[in-house]
C-alpha cells in the first residue's frame, strides 16, 4: 500500500470543477503520474498525482476540506508486477 500526501497546505478538491466528476473514486484504478486531486493555495491550483499505479482504497478527505502539508490525501493498493 502506498499513500499520496499533500505537498502544500490548502484546500483539497477531488474534482476539476464543481459540476465535474471526481478525478478518482474509491475502488477505481489509477496510473502512475495521473492527476488524482487538486490543492488550492493562494488562488493557485496544484495537481496531486499518483506516484504508483494501483487501486484507490481510501480517500480520507471530503471535497473542499482544508489540508496540511504532509497529510495523507489518498491511499492506493499498489499493482503487483
The domain that holds 51 is classified in CATH as 2.40.50.100
> For residue range 6-33, what is the model confidence (pLDDT) as tens digits?
999 999 999 999 999 999 999 999 999 9
Question: Comparing C-alpha atoms, which of 32, 12, 20 is closest to residue 76?
Answer: 32
The per-residue pLDDT for 79 is 81
Q: Which domain holds residue 8?
A: 2-78
The number of distinct structural domains making up the chain is: 1
pLDDT exceeds 80 at position 57: yes
* Whether pLDDT at 81 is above 60: no
Cβ atoms of 33 and 50 closer than 8 Å: yes
The DSSP H or E segment spanning 47 is strand 44-49
Contact indicator for 16, 45 with CB cutoff of 8 Å: no
Indicate the SS3 state at residue 59.
coil
- For the cut 70, the answer to whether the pLDDT of residue 54 exceeds it is yes
Amino acid at each position: 500500500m502506498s499513500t499520496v500526501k499533500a505537498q502544500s497546505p490548502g484546500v483539497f478538491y477531488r474534482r476539476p470543477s464543481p459540476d465535474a466528476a471526481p478525478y478518482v473514486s474509491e475502488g477505481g484504478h489509477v496510473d502512475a503520474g495521473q492527476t488524482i486531486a487538486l490543492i488550492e493555495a493562494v488562488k493557485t491550483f496544484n495537481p496531486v498525482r499518483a506516484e504508483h499505479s494501483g487501486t484507490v482504497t481510501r480517500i480520507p478527505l471530503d471535497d473542499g476540506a482544508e489540508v496540511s502539508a504532509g497529510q495523507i490525501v489518498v491511499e492506493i493498493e499498489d499493482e503487483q508486477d
